[in-house]
Amino acid sequence: MTDWTPIIAIAEVVAAVAVVASLVYLALQVRQNTRSVRAATYDAMVRASGDFLLPIIQDASLARAFEQAVARWSDPSIDEERRTRVMYVLTQLFRSWENAFYQHRQGTLEDWLWKAWERVILSYFHQPGIQDWWQVRRGAYSQPFCEFLETSACPPHDIKTTEQLLTPKSRAVDPGEAAV
């Protein structure tokens, strides 16, 4: 009769090594999948931003109305048709930002990427025209997103709107430069 004990012990060691190798392989696959999901999520967010910007880039009148509405929603120079279009653009923009907020909360948007999005979101959210628009549109967004926005402070180094960047500031005359 053959003693199977050494053969069984070897088989158990081989099986244990195979299980460990399978677990290492699985961990590597999960890690790679996580990276792929994060990359696809960020790519989708960037594409959504492009989808938002395209109409504004292609239509100077809409771009101007957008900037005016951001500064002052009730600006009388924005006619009803353009204000309606801006409302749809803002709705799409904030929906995209709500998605970024959600992706960050779910862990698919990394902190260092979220921080950049957050600065842009809050810089626009705290503009006077957006504050007025928000009062009538806030119900279209999730409670957690509303709370995030409404309890936020304007970032100290806010990102300027296009209008703010392009509007020349009157240059104060330095007393040392005054003409004699």
Contacts of residue 158, defined as CB under 8 A and 6 or more positions apart, other chains included, come to 119, 122, 123, 126
CA distance 70 to 116: 20
Residue % of the chain over a pLDDT of 70: 90
Could you tell me if residue 104 is inside a domain?
yes
Q: Is residue 173 part of a domain?
A: no
In a domain, 170, yes or no: no
Query: For position 147, what pLDDT does the model report?
Result: 98
CA atoms within 13 A on the CB side of 161: 22
Decide which of 105 and 11 is more confident: 105
Q: Which of 25-29, 79-83, 121-125, 174-178 has the least mean pLDDT?
A: 174-178
Residue 180 falls inside a structural domain: no
Looking at residues 70-94, what average pLDDT do you find?
93
Q: Report yes or no on 120 lying in a domain.
A: yes
Alpha carbon distance 19, 30 (integer Å): 16
User: Looking at residue 173, what is its pLDDT?
Assistant: 36
Q: What is the pLDDT of residues 38-49, one digit of tens each?
A: 777 777 877 877
Residue 174 lies in a domain: no
The string of DSSP codes covering 19-76 is: HHHHHHHHHHHHHHHHHHHHHHHHHHHHHHHHHHHHHHHH-HHHHHHHHHHHH-TT-T
Average pLDDT, the chain: 84
Please list, in sequence order, all residues whose beta carbon lies within 8 angstroms of the beta carbon of residue 128, skipping any fewer than 6 positions away. Answer: 71, 72, 73
For residues 3 and 88, the model is more confident at 88
The range of the structural domain enclosing residue 15 comes to 11-161
Q: What is the pLDDT of residues 148-177, one digit of tens each?
A: 999 999 887 667 777 777 776 643 333 344
Report yes or no on 166 lying in a domain.
no
110 vs 179, residue with greater confidence: 110
What CA–CA distance (Å, rounded) separates 95 from 1?
A: 75
Here the tokens at position 159 are 């990102």
Total of domains in the chain: 1
